[in-house]
Amino acid sequence: MNTSADLVTRVCQGDADAFRLIFERYSRPVISFIYDMVNDRALAEELTQETFVRAFRAIHTMRAETKLSTWLFGIARNVARESLRARARAHNHVDLADKSVMDLSDDKPVPVEGLLSKELNTLVRRSLAMLDEDKRLVFTLKVLHQCSYEEIATITGFSLAKLKTDLHRARAEMRKKISPYAGVGYEV
């Protein structure tokens, strides 16, 4: 069995194939997570590469009780954050989203059933990009990647209270942006 723990042990013993298996298993969630954070396809590829290179170099420091996916997401989060900070320094602000975000169709919101999957994807991606970094982080990890609160706290270093607050606010903001299209009018 190639469990994640087995793979980590094998990599530490110098088995290069084991690291490739780790890459094959986790590259998709990692690149998706980074893409959710940076909203740039080419950059997401580059940062995924950086994540796995860092992971390879540090894998011997990984604690036995840590879940591999959580550990990789933690590295990916740091890599993405560094990139966003660098971009913010370069441009004075992070403009992940186009302000014409919601111009998906003519002028009226289309109910979710009427949205083409491509439009739905654009709507979510752009709405996500308009959240601030912390909210985007917890929302992505919880709603799009189904991480537990405990995992999110490990990945982000946030307290349980902060992540719950950020998640609640992120949900509210996302709801506000998608409700005209998705017909989700619930207010918490």
Partner 1 sequence: MKCEVCTELLEEYLDGELAPHDRDHVDAHLLSCIECSESFAALTAEQEFFARYDREIEVPPFLWTRIAAHTNTRKRTWFGGLFAKTAIAGAIAVLLIAIAIGLVYKSSKPKALAPVVATTSSTTPSPDPVRKSVESVAQKRRKKVRPPIIHTPIDQSDVLSSDLSYLDMDEQDTALHIEQSKILLRSIKNVQISDTDEEIDVTYDKALSRRLLNENVVLRRDAEMKAKYPTKTLLADLEPFLIDIANLPDRARPQDVREIKERVQKTEIVAALLDYQDHGINNR
C-alpha 123, offset from chain centre: 16
Calculate helix-pair angle for 68-91, 41-58, nearest 10 degrees.
130
Helices (H), the chain: 4-12, 16-38, 41-58, 68-91, 117-129, 133-139, 149-156, 160-182
Indicate whether 154 belongs to the interface with partner 1 (CB under 8 A). no
CA distance 36 to 143: 12
Per CB under 8 A, contacts with partner 1 among 159-188 are 164, 167-168, 171, 174-175, 178, 182, 184-186, 188
Binding map of partner 1 across residues 34-53, x = CB under 8 A, - = no contact:
-xx----x--xx--xx--xx
Indicate whether 83 belongs to the interface with partner 1 (CB under 8 A). no
Indicate whether 113 belongs to the interface with partner 1 (CB under 8 A). no
CA distance 76 to 44: 10
Per CB under 8 A, residues contacting partner 1 are 16, 19-20, 23-24, 27-28, 31-32, 35-36, 41, 44-45, 48-49, 52-53, 56-57, 112, 117-118, 120-121, 124-125, 142-144, 148-149, 164, 167-168, 171, 174-175, 178, 182, 184-186, 188
